[in-house]
């Protein structure tokens, strides 16, 4: 190769390496902390629609990210509830990438508040994006730091439960607990204990605000088997198990 071509070759190689590294980093961040979807714009109240509803709130799990059809446990459970005439319709208000603070903002919107007031059943998935902290929890893992996130965010989860319960004193409210998508990582066992601490705190809040907590922790024990190709969100089989677990809780607590 001619001497003058070496600098050009080196420059191109370096540029490609940087671009490749950026692509990997972007993909990683998209999985550990998905881009936040747009929180619903503030709207005026629309005319009330008759009939019982199931309203789903939350993040990418509520949206069904990871399922082959772009649907998750909400559609599965919602359609079953409709078939059994438990509700007349269901409404998915999940926002991909949502954190607890985003959900609290969403709860202040008139249209969302009206939907919740009318709801017979409400489900929630939230907190994972707060706990995973844009992937930093794995990059610089420390159990002490992870537990400090739990300590900081659980009061905000309480605000969420309190707000929803005050909006609707009678609905069956169900919180889907967190699972550990990083069991196969070097810090998997430590992260297990952190997530169990989160779920334990959520159950305590559930008793206070009459919010049922579904255990999803035991639904994800093998990442390759239980998660989608991104190794973060549930696959179809796990979403099905989540829907079944949700349905069981609803059946036990619903008052026709």
Mean pLDDT of 8-35: 41
Q: Is the pLDDT of residue 124 over 50?
A: yes
Q: How far apart are CA 159 and CA 26, in angstroms?
A: 32
What whole-number distance in Å separates Cα of residue 43 and Cα of residue 111?
Answer: 6
pLDDT value of position 132: 86
**Where on the phi/psi map is residue 249: left (φ > 0), alpha (ψ -120 to 50), or beta?**
alpha
Q: What is the pTM of this model?
A: 0.83
Would you say residue 243 has pLDDT above 70?
yes
State the pLDDT at residue 177.
Answer: 98
In a domain, residue 1? The reply is no
Instruction: Find the range with the poorest average confidence among 20-24, 111-115, 208-212.
Output: 20-24
- Which comes out higher in pLDDT, residue 57 or 12? 57
Identify the residue with better confidence: 140 or 104: 104
Residue 12 lies in a domain: no
- Whether pLDDT at 156 is above 80: yes
Confidence of residue 256 (pLDDT cuts 50, 70, 90): low
Contact 122, 165 (CB under 8 A): no
- pLDDT: which is higher, 202 or 70: 202
Assign residue 178 the CATH number of its domain.
3.40.50.1110
Q: Which pLDDT does position 36 carry in this prediction? A: 53
Residue 23 belongs to some domain of the structure: no
pLDDT at residue 47 is higher than 60: no
In the structure, what pLDDT confidence band is assigned to residue 37 with cuts at 50, 70 and 90?
low
Q: pLDDT value at position 50?
A: 57
Task: State how far the alpha carbon of 52 is from the alpha carbons of 57, 69, 113, 122, 192, in Å.
Answer: 16, 26, 15, 11, 38
Is 5 part of a structural domain of the chain? no
Average pLDDT on 119-137 reads 89
Q: Is residue 3 part of a domain?
A: no
Contacts of 41-48 with CB under 8 Å at 24 or more apart are 41/109, 42/109, 42/110, 43/109, 43/110, 43/111, 44/110, 44/111, 45/110, 45/111, 45/114, 46/111, 46/114, 48/114, 48/118
Please, which residues have CB within 8 angstroms of residue 39's CB and are 6 or more apart in sequence? 95, 98, 102, 105, 106
Mean pLDDT, range 165-191, rounded to an integer = 95
Residue 161 domain-assigned?
A: yes
Domain carrying residue 131: 33-253
* 11-25, 68-82, 134-148: segment of lowest average pLDDT: 11-25
Angstrom CA distances, 146 to 60, 122, 137, 166, 195, stand at: 21, 28, 7, 30, 9
Assess whether pLDDT exceeds 90 at residue 75: yes
The three-class DSSP label of residue 237 is helix
Number of domains in the chain: 1
How high is the pLDDT of residue 118? 94
Q: Examine the pLDDT at 3 and tell me if it is beyond 80.
A: no
pLDDT at residue 12 is higher than 70: no
Residue 92 domain-assigned (yes or no): yes
Residues 6+ apart with CB under 8 A from 190: 141, 143, 146
Percent of the chain with pLDDT over 90: 72
Does 176 fall in a domain? yes
């Amino acid at each position: 190769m001619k001497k003058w071509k070496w600098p050009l070759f080196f420059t191109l190689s370096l540029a490609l390496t940087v671009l490749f590294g950026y692509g990997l980093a972007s993909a990683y961040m998209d999985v550990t902390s998905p881009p936040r979807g747009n929180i619903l714009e503030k709207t005026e109240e629309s005319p009330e629609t008759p009939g019982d509803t199931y309203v789903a709130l939350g993040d990418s799990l509520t949206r069904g990210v990871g399922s082959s059809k772009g649907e998750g446990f909400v559609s599965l459970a919602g359609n079953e509830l409709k078939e059994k005439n438990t509700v007349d319709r269901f409404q998915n208000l999940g926002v991909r990438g949502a954190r607890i603070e985003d959900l609290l903002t969403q709860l202040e919107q008139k249209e969302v508040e009206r939907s919740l007031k009318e709801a017979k059943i409400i489900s929630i998935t939230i907190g994972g994006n707060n706990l995973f902290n844009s992937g930093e929890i794995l990059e610089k893992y420390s159990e002490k730091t992870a537990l400090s996130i739990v300590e900081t965010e659980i009061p905000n989860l309480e605000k969420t439960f309190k707000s929803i319960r005050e909006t609707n004193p009678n609905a069956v409210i169900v919180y889907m607990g967190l699972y550990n998508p990083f069991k196969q990582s070097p810090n998997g066992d430590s992260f297990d204990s952190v997530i169990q601490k989160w779920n334990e705190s959520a159950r305590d809040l559930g008793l206070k605000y009459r919010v049922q907590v579904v255990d999803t922790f035991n639904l994800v024990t093998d990442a390759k088997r239980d998660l989608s190709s991104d190794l973060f969100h549930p696959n179809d089989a796990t979403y099905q198990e989540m829907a079944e677990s949700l349905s069981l809780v609803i059946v036990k607590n619903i008052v026709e």
